[in-house]
Structure 1
Amino acid sequence: MAQKYVVVERKNPLKPQEAAKFYAMARSNRRVDTDEVISRVSERSSYSIGELKGCITEFLLEMKNQLALGNIVLLGDMGSFRVTIATGNATETAEKFKAATCIKTSRVRFRPGNMLLDMCKAMKYTLVKKGESDEAVVPDPDEKPDNGNGGGGNPDDGNNGEAPDPAE
């Protein structure tokens, strides 16, 4: 199966005087919730829906607990999750730095592992043209177009090549 995409025209907000350019933007077929994933796994395994739901619920709770402790959660070849923080108000000295007033926010970042990186390298693409029926395609309203670097983001955006936080 190929990843569907559309071509969109965008201006560079950092260089508004330049002409707009065209970028690829991934199009999703639909959203798949946890219940559907659990149901599909249950159909091809010996685990019941209840067992899978319980395991996933506990797994996600433990992931949250480990992240809250400041740990990086490794999911094998799938990737890893970690917490990052952003400073809002820098200070002249370390002694003046106080978390309550200087740390702006914290975020959970996901870094894809080899399984997902290999999937992306082998990805095939299908253009969804204007006028074609793409009723099943649901655009992600939070998604930004891919600017040609393969990740949809800026390689110099300070994320060290990580995927953007989907909660932003």
Structure 2
Amino acid sequence: MAIKYKLIEKGEPGVVGGGTKKWYANIVTDGEETIDDLVKAIEKFSALSEADIRGVIIALENVMQDALANGKIVRLDKIGSLYPSLSSEGTATPEEFNAQKHVRNIKVNYRPGKRLSDSMKAAVLQRVK
């Protein structure tokens, strides 16, 4: 299997008319893996039943939500880490800052573990039209 990509032409951001345009690689996804697909795949390598695996995945999601909402990093060993992050507007003084007014975005970031990162570095690329 390979990671498929196609080339797309993009202009320079912020330049009227796009400025100098260049070609960039863009991933072409090849379907998706749902929880059902993952459960069936895990079931082949495990003594757990489909219901047990599904229950563990749902429970993991629930405890991860709580941990992230409480500002904790969730480390999933070789899978990687998820951590909360935010972006905000700046203020001239700390006293002026109001979280509801100045925080623009709160999200979850993901940092893959070494094995997942290494698998992407070793991936075969295939250009498609």
> Same-fold call, TM > 0.5?
yes
Q: Which amino acid aligns with 2:31?
A: R
Trace 1:112-127 onto structure 2 (pairs within 5 A): 112-127=112-127
Give how far 1:44 is off: 2.9
2:27 paired with 1:26 = yes
Cα distance, 1:96–1:18 mapped onto 2, change above 3 Å = closer
More helix by share: 2
Q: Quick one: percent identity of the two aligned structures?
A: 30
Q: Structure 1, residues 100-137: CA drift from partner, whole Å, max 9, x if none?
A: 222222111111221121011111111112xxxxxxxx
- Runs (4+) off by over 2 Å: 14-19
Q: List gaps (5 residues or longer) in structure 1.
A: 130-168
2:75 paired with 1:108 = no
Aligned equivalents of 1:105 and 1:26: distance in 2? 26
Tell me the equivalent position of 1:70: 71
Comparing 99-108 with 7-16, which one deviates more in the overlay?
A: 7-16
Aligned equivalents of 2:97 and 2:8: distance in 1? 44
Aligned equivalents of 2:100 and 2:44: distance in 1? 49
Tell me the equivalent position of 2:88: 87
Tell me the equivalent position of 2:58: 57
More strand by share: 2
After superposition, the CA RMSD in angstroms is 1.4
Cα distance, 1:101–1:2 mapped onto 2, change above 3 Å = same
Aligned equivalents of 2:105 and 2:7: distance in 1? 34
TM-score by length of 1: 0.71
Aligned equivalents of 2:2 and 2:60: distance in 1? 31
Q: List gaps (5 residues or longer) in structure 2.
A: none
